[in-house]
Amino acid sequence: MSADSAIDISGVSHHYGSRAAVDKVSLSVRSGEIFVFLGPNGSGKTTLFRVLSTLIPLQAGEVTILGQNLRSQATAIRGQIGVVFQAPSLDKKLTVAENLHHQGKLYGLAGAELRDRTLQMLAALGLADRTRDVVETLSGGMRRRVELAKGLLHRPRLLLLDEPSTGLDPGARSDLWKVLGEIRATDGVTIVLTTHLLEEAARADRIAIMHEGKLAALDTPAALQASVGGDSITIRTADPARLAAAVRQKFACEVIELDGTIRLEQPDGHQWIARLVEAFPREIETITLGKPTLEDVFIDRTGHRFWNESK
């Protein structure tokens, strides 16, 4: 494991019966970064999260977390990581402070130390005035903050979050990311999360795009978008296969057929619009131009639309 890595994953696979949920994935997460596993439902990101959070055993491959081997030192690892699950883990009938009190007991905290840490964490997450509020009276965004406080109460070096924005409105989602950035900046905590939200993943330092259990791409958001190779041009037509073949023949370029459309990436896309319309005025129903997005990256690496894969 390199000195600047919080997590090293080497050849990890996990099967449910004959189905490979994770298939020979290898990557490293750097210490102090915000790292995202991005993928639609069924991509393998949640299974990998469960492996990293020690919820399910490692079947194949090797994982090192914070310098410790996941196979032989899982108990020690649990003491150094914080986990926030997709499903709420708060007791809605207890107050904010009571929820953190019970969490602290699980990690061996008690007395003045537990009280001090509870107050410090609630203050850091903007919850100092909500200590005695019953959880069921809080908004979704506030409840997520309490979940974060629970996960950070024992001062972990690594925070793992599974779909943390589930059920949050855009404002609460933005607040959540602001808090994550502050946690990383203040405490140097490495943050790893899963998401199926493209706009959320774009906020990360680096993204691992998952598809059918495999690692499809890994880089910074900007580098991934730049790797597509140009502007994205999408054409809707009555006969995609026929038009795709014609475009390939005339312009000798790569064309993808996708859900009743054809798609190509080219530099100086605005110039290509005129060429295509002039060459195929009757076949083209609509034509659109856009800068590369993370969905374009997903399509480029997998040949599938992101959202269709999640159905």
Query: What spatial distance separates the first Cα and last Cα of the chain, rounded to whole Å?
Result: 37
Q: What pLDDT was estimated at residue 306?
A: 83
Average pLDDT, integer, range 5-26: 96
- pLDDT (tens digit, 9 = 90+) per residue, 116-155? 989 988 888 888 999 999 999 999 888 988 998 898 899 8
Confidence class for position 164, pLDDT limits 50, 70, 90: confident
Burial of 297 (0-12, 13-18, 19+ CB in 10 A): buried
Q: In sequence order, what are the beta bridge partners of 265?
A: 232
- Which of 177, 198, 193, 88 lies closest to 140 in space, CA to CA? 88
Average pLDDT, integer, range 262-269: 88
Cβ–Cβ < 8 Å for 267, 180: no
Percentage of the chain surpassing pLDDT 70? 97
Average pLDDT, integer, range 65-86: 93
Domain boundaries, the chain: 5-224, 229-291
Q: What pLDDT was estimated at residue 1?
A: 52
Q: What pLDDT was estimated at residue 308?
A: 55
CB count within 10 Å of CB 41 equals 10
Q: What pLDDT was estimated at residue 291?
A: 84
- pLDDT (tens digit, 9 = 90+) per residue, 104-115? 998 899 999 999
Task: Output the pTM of the full model.
Answer: 0.81
* Angstrom distance (rounded) from CA 154 to CA 107: 7
Average pLDDT, integer, range 187-213: 94
- pLDDT (tens digit, 9 = 90+) per residue, 215-254? 999 999 999 988 887 788 999 999 999 999 999 999 999 8
CATH (residue range 5-224): 3.40.50.300
Mean pLDDT, the chain, rounded, equals: 91
Average pLDDT, integer, range 71-99: 92
The superfamily CATH assigns to domain 229-291 is: Peptidase S8 propeptide/proteinase inhibitor I9 (3.30.70.80)
Q: What pLDDT was estimated at residue 309?
A: 44
